[in-house]
Amino acid sequence: MTDYKLELDKQKMKIFFRTDANITIATGHLMRCISIANELQSRGDRIAFMIADEASISILEKYQLDYFLIDAKWDICESGIAETLRILTAEKPDMLIVDSYYVDEKYLAELSKVVKVAYLGSKEITCPQLSLLINYSNLLDKDFYKTNYNETVLLLGPKYSPLRKQFDIDDTTVRECVKNIFVSVGGSDTFGVTLSILKRLMQYTAKLCINIIVVAGAMNRYISELKEVESTDRCIYVLVNANNMAEIMLGCDLAVSAAGTTINELCACGVPTICFAISKEQEEQAKQYEKENVAFYCGSFVDEPDMVLDKIILNVDMLLHDYERRIDMAKIMRDLIDGKGCSLIADHIHEILDGERNT
């Protein structure tokens, strides 16, 4: 356990994060918190993370972020509540941002007794003690939040997507000729979806001189198999744990992606996208993306993988030959998410805390 005191500069805010990453939940929660943390750091704030176990340490150290190890079960929030409260009481941060599917109202209310708490997530939680609630889902019940929260600052909708600074892009271009197709599943890819899509796309693009750019996270279980395929075809590029995602996406003309956070990044880059679901939660999000003409939805890979693969190829073929459709999609995507979510979130955090310090 890290047991040290962070020096508090009274002119700066001190903001903690409580989240986790591991091979089960992958790195999404941690990375979006890091994106917000980096924005706050750029404004002079002091940051520290509170994590359940050692699985997140290498990522936090890579970004040179302080952390406290609370030695708890990452999927049982109350298991680490005593140590969490001890650290918060000792360190006295101005705000704690909590990002986990496994928290509940009781847990958040308990934390709110010792610190201002912000909740980041799409889980419908009724906890009026929250100072800030962020849900950037494209599928949310605004009436639920308006009914259950009176004093809490609510940041609702995709414009608050906490993307990295590299996605704050002024302008994008849709090229008439498709040369590069981006592929990403995200997470640990338990079912080997990336490999299945890659092999199917290779069959389609074999005679078209189109590059397939596969991006796999560090926790992807099939990296060695993907690299083996890459070694057999000069048009296949497998990039592992890439940091320059915006640059990679901007260099692509089409994308095939799971309906997770990557879709939001593709929106900011204006890359016409074909999506699919790898979880029940993603199914409804993906259907909403299609309803809003943000992406083409091909179905649930878990339930009907063969059908999804067929639809992916059909939609790739259609978009490959429809330049005007790709232009329209790119505009809709950029209008939905402009990459400035972290800046907006940081603005609101400072408004809340500046108001508290001035009273």
Domain ranges of the chain: 14-165+339-357, 169-336
Q: Do 13 and 94 meet the contact criterion of CB atoms below 8 Å apart?
A: yes
Query: Taking Cα atoms as reference points, which of 40, 37, 76 lies closest to residue 60?
Result: 37
Dump pLDDT digits (tens) for 88-99.
Answer: 999 999 999 999
Which residues does residue 213 pair with via DSSP β-bridges, in sequence order? 182, 237
pLDDT bin (cut points 50, 70, 90) of residue 75 is very high
What DSSP character marks residue 168? -
Query: Is residue 17 classed as helix, strand or coil in its secondary structure?
Result: strand
pLDDT bin (cut points 50, 70, 90) of residue 359 is low
CATH of domain 14-165+339-357: 3.40.50.11190
Q: Do 120 and 106 meet the contact criterion of CB atoms below 8 Å apart?
A: no
Q: How far is CA 321 from the centre of its chain?
A: 31
Dump pLDDT digits (tens) for 169-214.
Answer: 999 999 999 999 999 998 778 889 999 999 999 999 999 999 999 9
Find the mean pLDDT for residues 80-107. Answer: 96
Distance CA 309, CA 59 (A): 33
Residue 290, judged by CB atoms within 10 A of its CB (0-12, 13-18, 19+), counts as: middle
pLDDT of 9 > 80? The answer is no
According to CATH, the topology of domain 169-336 is Rossmann fold (3.40.50)
Residue 206, judged by CB atoms within 10 A of its CB (0-12, 13-18, 19+), counts as: exposed
Distance CA 23, CA 54 (A): 12
Indicate if 169-336 has the same CATH topology as 14-165+339-357. yes
Cα 345–Cα 350–Cα 355 angle in degrees, nearest 5? 135
